Structure 1
């Protein structure tokens, strides 16, 4: 017979509060616990998945199924927002170095494709070279305008 688990009733793990012990056990003998999420839903969670250790390598459960999906989406969105802010900072820096070397109209274009979508525009200029070494604006989902033959590259020697 497995040993009696320590009493976790009332402990809080993320959005889950342990309510009561379950009758189930995992294959390794760990007890399951019934937990209530802050949204009001109940979830049965194995005891080895409840932990306060953030550096832990094993996965932990901190919310009900619906809330954990929302948390995953929020984390992805936050990561994408951080990366987009970094792309815009990098583009601003590159464009500052290109002042006087490229047409001013290019420097007035949005910084990234996401920035162009926000402004309802089709073209953007990051200040980077394409795979064929052109320095030209890009079209959203369309690539370099110099590669498409619509605009010459700022650096005429490459191309």
Structure 2
């Protein structure tokens, strides 16, 4: 890829300056799906990623920043919502919701500290990030930041984000 194409691609992510100085995990670490799969508090998210056929995508090179809702976050949704989203006929809606939780580039909490940003997600819409008092994403609180994976970083959040 020539330099101009690389710069155009980097600029398209919206987080070029932040992601450029992000410490990346070593390749001996599991990828994002591997990290999520080994943590019981993300079992609903892993089931949703599987149902949406996004496993291979989140195992790709990335890097990605994933705002990962816990099982407790999914439980806050109205009764039956998760079960309905997991149905094959609702795959497009599920993909939209899940990709709204993913931002291109690996961005750690120290890069967000003290900033308020509107950042493009993989889904295409922007999320509002407020790093002035901890980190909040579209109103969800980051309850554990900087869970490193070989292809990005995961931030555990307490609510499901809706595009």
TM-score for both structures, normalised by structure 2 = 0.23
Structure having greater relative contact order (Cα 8 Å, sep ≥ 6): 2
Query: Which has the greater radius of gyration?
Result: 1
What is the TM-score when the length of structure 1 is the normalising length? Answer: 0.23
User: Greater share of helix residues, 1 or 2?
Assistant: 2
